[in-house]
């Protein structure tokens, strides 16, 4: 005889939860920590011993460390554009380094990484540096700014609108300047001077908190002169020393508020971009000047995010990615002793040049990935990985579909990102003044002027037919082997032209 056994509802719920597959196995939370101007050699897990970054190293120890991972461009705006849209920035005019009053660069019909994740049920946020423009037409900073990140897939935003060295020096949350006094309206100009106060070029050097070295000599905010002119908004203006704390606490709040649902947090730090003005608790701690101190502050921010995930019980359910928008730079407009106190520290590791350059140091950046139970801890990958692929890769991970006419350069490389594919991308464009091409261990740079060094820069000239480097032979790109390998040079030139023409785009199957 069979008996029907009554199971209380709460017991049934417990059994269902016990036997159901965990959400982590289906759709992990995603935290992308996107840093600014951090070089391959700035993190100690990549081998440098002059500056310890224990929290960043923790991601590597608990996940995979990529040694051949690249942002899409050697400067911030085009890298961020490619990351979020899955298309190389060179395909769209106007994606160079954006002014502080630039309009939204991502078009209204462009499908983005956060929009793809929203389709899969994710709550999405960008907190920190934006630098992709706002609004559509002249921006009135005293009203709600439309267009903003909500129009490209982010449910929530708390922004540094452009960069720390550009006005306006205010935060924007959900389309409005934070803490703005209506009686003190903001005006911004990157042309005509509108600020009647003395500029950075007009005050005695000793009166500035940080002296400018080139270019950054217009409106003074918090004792530091910036690029561009700004008036008003006195109560809303940020304090540079508090910036890392402010955006990190906002990120922690987002994690707390959305811990019960799948989320995507794009945590875009200002560190270690200029002006480097770390909180006093970090100043003087690195021995490498304020650039090194800013790295310690950045490492603290990473630790706060990791600790928050632990405290919320989200560690195993969260994919964490740490990387940078471009390679390193030393003097980038302010006198902060980044060169003088560098010592034996090599921000670019063994690679040539850094920010602004087509050489490897311009785009080869730290990339660390942690997802407990899915990424083997303490592993290293030499796969060729590019940030332009993360839209298609993360969409594939969560089951979102990418239409053929969107994310046109993005390939599903999720296995490479998670350390399971040792090869990775078949080829990758590096955007700077010109467009270099990586294919396996070969590197092609077309003719033109190339920035070298870490600032102040020298310029080297690549003559026709272009330079070819075998990175297996000389990782520092000092040996041009074009004359020795004319067939490989010709093949890469032909592939280069096909990519630029859009004739070598992915088939959505990762091939």
Task: Give the CATH number, domain containing residue 489.
Answer: 3.30.1120.10
pLDDT per residue over 102-138, tens digit each? Answer: 999 999 999 999 999 999 999 999 999 999 999 999 9
Helix (H) or strand (E) holding 178: none
* Domain assignment present for 196: no
* Domain assignment present for 141: yes
Q: Give the residue numbers spanning the domain of 443.
A: 428-500
Residue 305 pLDDT: 98
CA–CA separation, 151 vs 115, rounded Å? 9
CA–CA separation, 409 vs 389, rounded Å? 7
Tokens 């630098």 correspond to what residue?
131
Number of folded domains in the chain? 2
| Strand, coil or helix: 461 | strand
Average pLDDT for residues 462-486, to the nearest whole number?
A: 97
* Domain assignment present for 216: no
* Domain assignment present for 198: no
Tokens linked to 417:
């990102």
Report the predicted TM-score, pTM, of the whole model to 2 decimal places: 0.94
pLDDT per residue over 167-189, tens digit each? Answer: 999 999 999 999 999 999 999 99
Which position has the higher pLDDT, 350 or 505?
Answer: 350
pLDDT per residue over 356-389, tens digit each? Answer: 999 999 999 999 999 999 999 999 999 999 999 9
Q: Are residues 409 and 477 in the same domain?
A: no
- Write down how long the chain is: 511
Whether residue 332 contacts residue 455, with contact meaning beta carbons closer than 8 Å, is answered with yes
DSSP 8-state secondary structure symbol assigned to residue 270 = -
* Domain assignment present for 3: no
CA–CA separation, 242 vs 141, rounded Å? 22
* Residue after which a domain boundary falls, among 417, 449, 469: 417
DSSP states of 206-265 as a string?
GGSSS-BSSS--SSEETTEE-BSEEES-GGGB--GGGHHHHHHHHHHHHHHHTTTS-EEE
Q: Are residues 373 and 477 in the same domain?
A: no
pLDDT per residue over 420-456, tens digit each? Answer: 999 999 999 999 999 999 999 999 999 999 999 998 8
Residue 507 pLDDT: 62
Q: Are residues 456 and 410 in the same domain?
A: no
Q: Are residues 259 and 159 in the same domain?
A: yes
pLDDT per residue over 30-78, tens digit each? Answer: 999 999 999 999 999 999 999 999 999 999 999 999 999 999 999 999 9
Average pLDDT for residues 219-226, to the nearest whole number?
A: 98
Residue 505 pLDDT: 79
Q: Are residues 365 and 466 in the same domain?
A: no
Strand runs (DSSP E) across 318-392, as ranges? 318-324, 367-370, 379-381, 385-386
For residue 8, pLDDT beyond 50? no
Tokens linked to 444:
């092609």
Which position has the higher pLDDT, 2 or 253?
Answer: 253
* Residue after which a domain boundary falls, among 394, 417, 440: 417
* Residue after which a domain boundary falls, among 366, 394, 417: 417
Tokens linked to 322:
């740490």
Residue 169 pLDDT: 98
């Amino acid at each position: 005889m069979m008996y029907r056994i009554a199971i209380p509802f709460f017991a049934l719920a417990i059994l269902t939860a016990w036997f159901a597959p965990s959400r982590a196995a289906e759709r992990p939370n995603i935290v992308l920590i996107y840093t600014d101007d951090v070089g391959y050699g700035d993190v100690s897990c990549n081998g440098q011993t002059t500056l310890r970054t224990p929290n960043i190293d923790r991601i590597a120890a608990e996940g995979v460390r990529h040694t051949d991972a690249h942002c899409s461009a050697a400067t911030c705006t085009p890298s961020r554009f490619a990351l979020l849209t899955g298309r190389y920035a060179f395909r769209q005019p106007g994606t160079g380094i954006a002014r502080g009053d630039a309009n939204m660069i991502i078009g209204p019909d462009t499908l983005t990484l956060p929009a793809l994740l929203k389709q899969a049920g994710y709550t999405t946020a960008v907190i920190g540096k934006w630098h992709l423009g706002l609004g559509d037409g002249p921006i009135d900073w005293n009203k709600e700014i439309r267009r903003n990140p909500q129009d490209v897939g982010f449910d929530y935003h708390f922004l540094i609108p452009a960069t720390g060295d550009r006005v306006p020096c205010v935060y924007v949350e959900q389309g409005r300047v934070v803490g703005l006094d209506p009686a003190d309206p903001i005006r911004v100009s990157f042309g005509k001077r509108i600020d009647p106060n003395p500029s950075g070029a007009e005050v005695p050097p000793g009166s500035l908190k940080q002296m400018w070295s080139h270019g950054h000599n217009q409106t003074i905010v918090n004792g530091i002169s910036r690029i561009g002119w700004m008036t008003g908004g006195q109560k809303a203006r940020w304090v540079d020393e508090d910036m890392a704390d402010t955006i990190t606490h906002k990120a922690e709040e987002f994690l707390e508020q959305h811990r019960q649902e799948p989320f995507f947090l794009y945590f875009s730090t200002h560190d270690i971009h200029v002006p480097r003005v770390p909180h006093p608790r970090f100043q003087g701690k690195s021995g490498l000047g304020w650039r090194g101190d800013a790295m310690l502050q950045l490492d603290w921010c990473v630790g706060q995010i990791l600790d928050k995930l632990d405290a919320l019980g989200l560690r195993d359910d969260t994919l964490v990615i740490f990387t940078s928008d471009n390679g390193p730079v030393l003097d980038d407009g302010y006198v902060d002793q980044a060169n003088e106190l560098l010592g034996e520290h090599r921000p670019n590791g063994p690679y040539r040049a850094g920010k602004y350059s087509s050489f490897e140091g311009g785009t080869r950046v730290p990339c660390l990935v942690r997802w407990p139970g899915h990424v083997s801890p303490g592993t290293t990958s030499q796969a060729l990985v590019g940030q332009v692929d993360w839209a298609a890769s993360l969409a594939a991970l969560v089951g979102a579909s990418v239409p053929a006419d969107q994310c046109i350069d993005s390939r599903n490389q999720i296995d490479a990102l998670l350390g399971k594919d040792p090869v990775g991308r078949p080829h990758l464009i590096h955007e700077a003044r010109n467009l270099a091409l990586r294919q396996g261990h070969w590197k092609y740079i077309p003719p033109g002027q190339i920035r070298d060094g870490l600032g102040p820069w020298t310029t080297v000239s690549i003559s026709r037919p272009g330079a070819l480097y075998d990175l297996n032979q000389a990782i520092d790109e000092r040996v041009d082997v074009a004359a020795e390998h004319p067939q490989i040079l010709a093949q890469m030139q032909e592939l280069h032209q096909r990519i630029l023409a859009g004739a070598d785009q992915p088939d959505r199957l990762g091939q």
